Amino acid sequence: MRDEALTINGEAMRTADRFAVINPGDGSIAGYASNAGRAELDRAVAAARDAFPGWSRKPDEELRAACTAVAGQINDNTEELARLVTLEQGKPLNGPGSRWEIGAAAAWAEHTAGLALPPRVLQDDDDGRVELYRRPLGVVGSITPWNFPVLIAVWHMLPALRTGNTVVIKPSPYTPLATTRLVELMNEVLPAGVVNIVTGDDGMDSLGAAMSAHAGIRKIVFTGSCATGKAVMRSAAETMKRLTLELGGNDAGIVLPDADPGAIAEDLFWGAFINNGQTCAAMKRLYVHDSIHDDVCDALVEVARNVPVGPGLDEGSILGPIQNRMQFDKVKRLVEDAGSRGRVLLGGAPGDGLFFPPTIVSGLANGDPLVDEEQFGPVLPVIRYSEVEDAVAAANDSPNGLGGSLWSADVESARRMALRLECGSVWINKHGAIQPNAPFGGVKQSGLGVEFGEEGLAEYTDIQVVLS
C-alpha cells in the first residue's frame, strides 16, 4: 500500500501525522498521504523561493527542454499513474478514464513545452524603442480538485514552469496519491525546489486557505468549486496575488429542431457523462426542441443503458463510482427531488456503495434544483422547449458561464448563434472537448482568467516594459 511522503526541495519528507485515502470503488483504504501543516507549507514555499532565481534565469530553450522531459516522465509511467488515479478517484482504467487522463496529461505537457512568449517590440523609431517582456512571477501555488487529479495538476504546473516560475502544489485530500507520485517523477528531471508538494486533510487548518494568504506565494491557480474560489479570491487580496480561478459550471446544451437524434445521441451522452458527470465542462442540462424531444430522449437512453458501470480496476468498466460520499449524497438528493416532478427515464436509484447508474430525467424546467444546481454526477435533466429564443434565455439564466453547446445540422448558423451564449467556450455538435491550443475559462461566476494556449501561459507572467 502506498504511503506517500511530501516532496520539498527535492527530498522526501514524512510528517508525523498522515491520513487515509479511500478507494471509492469498494470503500477500502487506497493508501496514506502526509498530513502537512503550516510548518511544512512554509518549508515548501521557502524551497520554491530559493529555487526561483536559478530557474527563472535559465535560457528559454532549457525551460522548454525541462517541460518536454516532464512529458517524457508521464509517458514512461502511464500505467502506474493511471492505476493510482483509478484507485483513489474511482474512474475506470478504460474508456475516457485514467489511462486517457494520463495520456492527455502527457500530451498537454508536450504542447505546453512548445509554447513561447517572446519579447515584443512595440515601437522602434526616431522617437524611441519600446520593448515588452513577459516576466515570471515567482512562486505559483496550485490548488487542485479531485476529478482529474493528474491532468489538472499538469494544466497548472507546466505553464508555470515553462514561464520560469517555481511551484508548490496542493492536491485535493480525496486524491493526493497520484499527484504526489507525479511530483516525485518530475523531481527526477527538475532541479531541487522547482516543484514541491504539500498534502493535507483539510482538517482544522486548511492548507489551501494558508496558501491563498501566504506572503511568499505570488499567484494562485485554483480549480474547484465556486464557493472555495471566492474564499481564495478574498484571502489573496491582501498580497495582491495573481489569480486564475477555474470554477464550477452548469453548462447547457441546446438541441435545435434540425438535429438528427440518432446521429448525436452518443456525443450527447459523453458530453454529459464523461467521468460520471464529475467534470467542470460537462453538459449539466439539455434543452431539446419539442419536435424531436422524445426521439432524443429515446436515443440517449439507448446509449446510456449499454454503458458498463463497475469497479475502475475491471478492464470491462467504462464508468465507475461517484468519487466521494458528499458528492454521492448531493446527486441522490437532486434525483429524489427531480423524481417527484419530472419523469425518470433511466436509472434513478443508487447502486451499491458509491455507485449510481447513469440517470436521465425529463419534464423539468429552470427553477428545479436539478436544472439550476451543478449536480456534478451521472444524471442529466432534459428540458423541452418550443421557441429557440426561450432555450437561449433559459441557458443564459445562470450565474455560471463555463461552457455551452449547440446541436444542429446547420453548423454555419449554429456558429452565429454561439455568440449569444454567455459562456467561455461554445461547442457545436460536441460538448466539453477542451484542447491545449484553445484558451479555456469561465465567464460570470465560473471563474477568472483562462488556461491553455499563449493566453493561458501569459497568466503566469507580469508585463514589464523597457522604454529607451
Catalytic residues: 246, 280
DSSP string, 284-304: EEEEEEGGGHHHHHHHHHHHH
Shortest distance in whole angstroms from residue 405 CB to ligand NAD: 16
What phi and psi, each to the nearest 5 degrees, are found at residue 3? -135, 90
85 binds ligand NAD (CB under 6 A): no
Interface residue with ligand NAD, options 73, 147, 166, 317 (CB under 6 A): 147
168 binds ligand NAD (CB under 6 A): no
Q: Which is nearer to ligand NAD, 320 or 447 (CB)?
A: 447
Q: Which residues contact 234 (CB under 8 A, 6 or more apart)?
A: none
User: In the window 233-292, what residues touch ligand NAD (CB under 6 A)?
Assistant: 246-249, 280
- Shortest-Cβ-distance residue relative to ligand NAD: 208
Interface residue with ligand NAD, options 116, 231, 318, 344 (CB under 6 A): 231
Counting residues that bind ligand NAD (by CB under 6 A) gives 29
Shortest distance in whole angstroms from residue 305 CB to ligand NAD: 26
DSSP string, 57-121: TS-HHHHHHHHHHHHHHHHHTHHHHHHHHHHHH---SSSSSHHHHHHHHHHHHHHHHT-----EE
Residue type, position 416, single letter? R
Shortest distance in whole angstroms from residue 83 CB to ligand NAD: 21
* C-beta of residue 371 within 8 angstroms of C-beta of residue 412: no
223 binds ligand NAD (CB under 6 A): yes
Q: Do the bridges between strand 29-34 and strand 18-22 make them parallel or antiparallel, or are there none, so unpaired?
A: antiparallel
Shortest distance in whole angstroms from residue 277 CB to ligand NAD: 10
Sheet bearing 461-467, strands edge to edge: 120-125, 128-136, 461-467
330 grid coordinates: 448531493
**Interatomic CA distance for residues 345 and 359, integer angstroms:** 7
CA dihedral 152, 319, 99, 173 (to 10 degrees): 40
453: left (phi over 0), alpha (psi -120 to 50) or beta: left
Q: Which is nearer to ligand NAD, 104 or 259 (CB)?
A: 104
Judged by CB under 6 A, the stretch of 203-211, 251-259, 342-350, 406-414 that binds ligand NAD is 203-211
172 binds ligand NAD (CB under 6 A): yes
Interface residue with ligand NAD, options 47, 113, 143, 178 (CB under 6 A): 143
- Annotate each residue in 389-428 with x if it binds ligand NAD (CB under 6 A) or - if it does not, as one string: -------------x--------------------------
342 binds ligand NAD (CB under 6 A): no
What phi and psi, each to the nearest 5 degrees, are found at residue 328? -60, -45
Interface with ligand NAD (CB under 6 A) = 143-147, 170, 172-173, 202, 206, 208-209, 212, 223-225, 228, 231-232, 246-249, 280, 374, 376, 402, 442, 447
